[in-house]
């Protein structure tokens, strides 16, 4: 989708309790809210306004009938998600068995493509056009900067997307790279889907740098730390400095890249556990829980975590 195709939205374009008639994207054309989702509260609108949100004016709502002369695009309502066994529910991701039609992947959503054989080719964010069951998948061949993607016929690419609670990944061969009337990629139907269902709080490994200060006035101190593991509800910090004891409060400062920008956020956290403070003093680990996390900070963290999941 060329940059000029995005139309900035205003706060008054969203209404609490109303279903969105179109998908909403950030500045990098990553999907924030799918078409048909309902805005839950005013705080959600304020958060989206702070980050910046856009729509594609050329997006057309799905119709019940397939377009004449074209392949039918699947838009079935997804079935209820199965409950995972107790031993799987304790994990963050559970592999599930679904067909592509049973996921919440919808035409117009942003998906990611990466060459499986050429590591120098960058990952591309493109728009899903649709698919013909057991035959082919159709995606846009135009990247975020408006340039045509450098894929060729018979090249194998990796497809990744997040749809609802599912991380969808598969490898597919480029059947045809067409340039007229629009640049499109025709991907062969994948032989196998890898679908992991997101459970509980998403967690990713990172190397973010953070500043930490003790919340208790009686124990002042400012320290540097590295965030090695992050979720929207907490983090694992490594530091050579003594950050505190279990139950102590910390004020954390971090710079998070999200929605194409670098955001400086401040988070109040509480130390919940400490890993090997005596055995290996140079690699002390502090597990912290975020407390009273504002909606804007949570949205930034979740956006960053989703991006990390797609890139790795």
Pair (219, 173) in one structural domain = no
Domains of the chain: total: 3
Residue ending a domain, choose from 164, 179, 198 = 198
For 309, half-sphere exposure in the C-beta direction (CA atoms, 13 angstrom radius) is 28
Average pLDDT, the chain: 76
Average pLDDT (296-306) is 79
70 within some domain: no
DSSP structure string for 176-206: EEE-SSS-EEEEEPPS--EEEEE-SS-EEEE
Are residues 45 and 99 part of one domain? no
Residues 152 and 179 in one domain: yes
Residue 64 has pLDDT above 80, yes or no: no
Q: State the pTM of this model.
A: 0.47
* % the chain with pLDDT above 70: 77
Within a domain: residue 79? no
Q: Is residue 60 part of a domain?
A: no
Averaged pLDDT, 235-242: 88
Residue 294 counted as domain residue: yes
Of 198, 222, 244, the one marking the end of a domain is 198
Give pLDDT, residue 1: 45
Strands (E), 93-202: 93-95, 110-115, 124-132, 136-140, 156-163, 166-178, 184-188, 194-198
User: Per-residue pLDDT tens for 149-171?
Assistant: 888 899 999 898 877 777 788 89
Query: Does the pLDDT at position 93 exceed 60?
Result: no
Which pLDDT belongs to residue 269? 93
Please indicate, yes or no, if residue 73 is contained in any of the structural domains: no
C-beta neighbour count of 72 within 10 angstroms: 12
One domain for residues 287 and 243: yes
Would you say 305 and 204 are in contact if contact means Cβ atoms under 8 Å apart? yes
248-258 burial, b at 16+ Cβ within 10 Å, e below that, comes to bbbebebebeb
For 248-274, write each residue's pLDDT tens digit. Answer: 999 999 998 865 578 889 999 999 998
Q: Nearest-CA neighbor of 117 among 38, 171, 166?
A: 171
Number of H helices, E strands in the chain: 3, 18
Are 148 and 211 in the same domain? Answer: no
For the stretch 216-234, pLDDT in tens is 766 667 888 999 999 888 9
Residues 124, 108, 111, CA angle at the centre, nearest 5°? 30
CATH number at residue 241: 2.40.10.220
State the residue range of the domain holding 194: 90-198
Examine the pLDDT at 99 and tell me if it is beyond 70. Answer: yes
């Amino acid at each position: 989708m060329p940059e000029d195709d995005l139309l900035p939205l205003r706060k008054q374009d969203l209404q609490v309790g109303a279903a969105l008639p179109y998908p909403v994207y950030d500045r990098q054309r990553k999907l924030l809210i799918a078409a048909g989702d309902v805005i839950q509260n005013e705080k959600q609108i304020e958060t989206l306004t702070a980050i910046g949100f856009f729509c594609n004016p050329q997006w057309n709502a799905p119709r019940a009938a397939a377009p004449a002369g074209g392949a039918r695009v699947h838009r079935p309502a997804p079935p209820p998600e199965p409950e995972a066994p107790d031993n799987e529910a304790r994990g963050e991701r559970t592999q599930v068995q679904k067909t592509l039609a049973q996921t919440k992947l919808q035409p117009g959503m942003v998906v990611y493509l990466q060459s499986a054989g050429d590591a120098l080719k960058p990952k591309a964010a493109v728009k899903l056009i649709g698919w013909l069951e057991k035959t082919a998948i159709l995606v846009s061949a135009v990247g975020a900067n408006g340039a045509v993607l450098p894929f060729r016929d018979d090249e194998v690419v990796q497809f990744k997307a997040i749809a609802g609670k599912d991380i969808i990944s598969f490898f597919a061969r480029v059947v045809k790279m067409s340039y007229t009337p629009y640049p499109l990629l025709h991907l062969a139907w994948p032989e196998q889907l890898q679908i992991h269902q997101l459970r509980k709080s998403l967690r990713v490994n990172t190397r973010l740098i953070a500043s930490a200060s003790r919340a208790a006035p009686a124990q002042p101190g400012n320290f540097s730390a590295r965030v090695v593991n992050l979720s929207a509800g907490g983090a694992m910090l490594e530091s050579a400095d003594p950050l505190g004891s279990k139950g102590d409060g910390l004020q954390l400062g971090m710079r998070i890249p999200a929605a194409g920008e670098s955001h400086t956020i401040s988070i109040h956290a509480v130390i919940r556990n400490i890993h090997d403070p005596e055995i290996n003093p140079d690699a002390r680990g502090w597990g912290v829980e975020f407390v009273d996390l504002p909606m804007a900070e949570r949205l930034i963290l979740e956006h960053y975590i989703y991006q990390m999941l797609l890139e790795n």
